[in-house]
Structure 1
Amino acid sequence: MLKHLAILACTLLALPALAALQVTDDRGAVVTFDRAPQRIVSLLPSLAETVCELGHCQRLVGVDRYTNWPESVKALPRVGGGLDPNIEQIVALRPDVVLMATSSRAGDRLRALGVKVVALEPKTHADVQRVMLKIGQLLEVQDAQRIWRAIDAAVMAAAQSLPAGVRGTRVYFEVNPGPYAAGESSFIGETLTRLGVKNIVPASLGPFPKLNPEYIVRANPDLIMVGERSVDGMMQRPGWHSLRAMRGQHLCVFPADESDTLVRPGPRMAEGARIMARCLASRAPAVSKGAARP
């Protein structure tokens, strides 16, 4: 009898360890939790959006200054940005975990203060899927894969909606006025590829390279995609007035809300694909001119 009681006691003592939740982040660090985090601070908009898409927006207790979707997060405390977070404010929120990009400078300082950190860096479609599943694991959401499948199917549907004449359009997508571009290897570039168009910025230059404006002049894209925050001054760049896209008004200028959707590698990628598809359908030379591109 005593032997059985001893075995039972050992089993019960082992249960918390067995129930512990472990997540390996993008730094390769294993972070252990006694239970799924209930109080979350996010320092990257796409990570906060993913938490909400997985059905746990109510667990967010603080976000970075740029997070603005869905509407409910606008009421949350702002704790700075990924590069300049307010460490004291974050600690005061008593988070069970802080979600941040691997490039954030805050990780070591927070860990030194005893705050658990999970660093995740979505840059490609595969990354977005992986991060979706990783946060799903963290939140103990069983159907995170289903959400990714819906995103993937919606991107495919956006591609199928385009007229055949759009295929092969040479596109330049400016992320912000460095000019920084979305290259082929970025999640934006991968979406453009799936839409059947050609990115003028090859994968060899990296996901979001800073370009010499002369590079774009030499590449002479058929169509330019840019946010309204970045469009000012484009025509003043040397040689840009002669660009095929500028001469023919083959230019899509996205309002701020659409730009946010487009540049965030998260659950709104499907909507981003639809926005780009609408741009291509209305502004690509072969469609707007009713003839072959010049």
Structure 2
Amino acid sequence: MLRPWLLALTAALALPAGAIEIKDDLGQITTLAAPPQRVVSLLPSLTETVCELGACARLVGVDRYSNFPASVNALPKLGGLDDTNVEMIAALKPDVVLLATASRVSERLRALGLKVIALEPRSYKDVQRVLNTLGQVLGVSDAQRVWRYIDAGVSAAAASVPPSARGIRVYYEVASGLWAAGESSFMGETLTRLGAGNIIPAQLGPFPKINPEYVVKANPGLIMIGTRSAEGLATRPGWDRIDAIRRGRVCVFKPEEGDILSRPGPRMAEAAQIMARCLREKAGA
């Protein structure tokens, strides 16, 4: 019986010269003959990461929500998670398609003979791992330089938060319907780095759907929320008793800020600065 290391070595030797073997977040193994020159990205955070790694020119199509950097807005838009245009993707003849693990078209694309890599960054550790994976895929030698930039930026944001704002308990609503950012999400991890608390414990998962009464009982001292979800916030049953609402400690993020805050990728340092500014302005007095 061959030892595991010998099996791995045998498999590696069997690959053609220059070939790349990638195991994605669904456990699927994809072999690329060479770094792809035609890339489709169906997740905004992956689109931004590809560009930050210097491979924006290789993108030939993106999902409808990918809008940064500005150059990707000129690319064919291929739909969203529930209405991905498979025929249009196939017509673009990509060398690889990057998508979320929740995508419903992975198998259809593979059945068409396309190379598919599913990646889902949800935490800081995930972001580092995805950077490594995309660095391998794209043939970029030091993908972790992006992580070092992110990490330094988050640390700088944390240093800007005054002691008076540290420890405040935050409720961060990431989407209408009371979907929240938990401690184990990348947003929650940023809050922790900034010295804030989180009313959504890690055991509830990264982005759980929360009962409104749960938030009332938790009584957060600060609420972070997007423009679309903020309407009628104070009129939710019982929410007028929440300390954050009584004291006006609510940060309402504009849609463009929401994009930055919700994407686990190169702009996470900028997201940390947005959160830090909220903490300074609403809880630092």
Compute the TM-score of the two structures, normalised by the length of structure 1: 0.91
Give the total of aligned pairs: 273
Q: Which residue of 2 aligns with 1:23?
A: 22
Q: Could you say what secondary structure the match of 2:27 adopts?
A: coil
How big is the shift at 1:16? 7.7
Report matched runs for 1:228-247 at 5 Å: 228-247=227-246
Report matched runs for 1:2-151 at 5 Å: 17-151=16-150
Q: Which residue of 2 aligns with 1:278?
A: 277
Q: In structure 1, give the amino acid aligned to 2:181.
A: A
Task: Return the alpha-carbon distance in structure 2 between the equivalents of residues 128 and 148 of structure 1.
Answer: 8
CA distance 1:15–1:272, change in 2 (3 Å): same
Q: In structure 2, give the amino acid aligned to 1:109.
A: R
How big is the shift at 1:15? 10
Q: In structure 2, give the amino acid aligned to 1:269.
A: M
Q: Could you say what secondary structure the match of 2:228 adopts?
A: coil
Task: Return the alpha-carbon distance in structure 1 between the equivalents of residues 26 and 144 of structure 2.
Answer: 22
Q: In percent, how many aligned pairs have the same letter? A: 61
Cα distance per residue 1:259-282 (max 9 Å; x no partner): 010011111111000100000000
How big is the shift at 1:83? 2.7
Report matched runs for 1:213-228 at 5 Å: 213-228=212-227
Task: Return the alpha-carbon distance in structure 1 between the equivalents of residues 172 and 266 of structure 2.
Answer: 20
Q: In structure 2, give the amino acid aligned to 1:276.
A: M
Q: In structure 1, give the amino acid aligned to 2:245.
A: M
CA distance 1:106–1:224, change in 2 (3 Å): same
Note if contact 1:61-1:93 (Cα within 8 Å) is conserved in structure 2: yes
How big is the shift at 1:233? 2.3
Task: Return the alpha-carbon distance in structure 2 between the equivalents of residues 209 and 16 of structure 1.
Answer: 42
Cα distance per residue 1:94-135 (max 9 Å; x no partner): 111110011111100000010110000100000001101110
Note if contact 1:41-1:99 (Cα within 8 Å) is conserved in structure 2: yes
How big is the shift at 1:230? 1.2
Q: Could you say what secondary structure the match of 2:153 adopts?
A: helix
Q: In structure 2, give the amino acid aligned to 1:277.
A: A
Structure 1 stretches of at least 4 aligned residues deviating more than 4 Å after TM superposition: none
Q: Could you say what secondary structure the match of 1:216 adopts?
A: helix
Q: Could you say what secondary structure the match of 1:258 adopts?
A: helix
How big is the shift at 1:82? 2.2
Task: Return the alpha-carbon distance in structure 2 between the equivalents of residues 249 and 126 of structure 1.
Answer: 34
Note if contact 1:82-1:100 (Cα within 8 Å) is conserved in structure 2: no
* Larger Rg belongs to: 1
- Structure 2 unaligned blocks of 5 or more: 1-12
RMSD (CA atoms): 1.3
Q: Could you say what secondary structure the match of 2:229 adopts?
A: coil
Task: Return the alpha-carbon distance in structure 1 between the equivalents of residues 22 and 14 of structure 2.
Answer: 18
Q: In structure 1, give the amino acid aligned to 2:244.
A: A
How big is the shift at 1:84? 2.0
Cα distance per residue 1:131-185 (max 9 Å; x no partner): 0111011010111111111111111111111111111001010001111000000
- Structure 1 unaligned blocks of 5 or more: 1-13, 289-294
Task: Return the alpha-carbon distance in structure 1 between the equivalents of residues 15 and 208 of structure 2.
Answer: 47
Q: Which residue of 2 aligns with 1:187?
A: 186
Q: Which residue of 1 aligns with 2:158?
A: 159
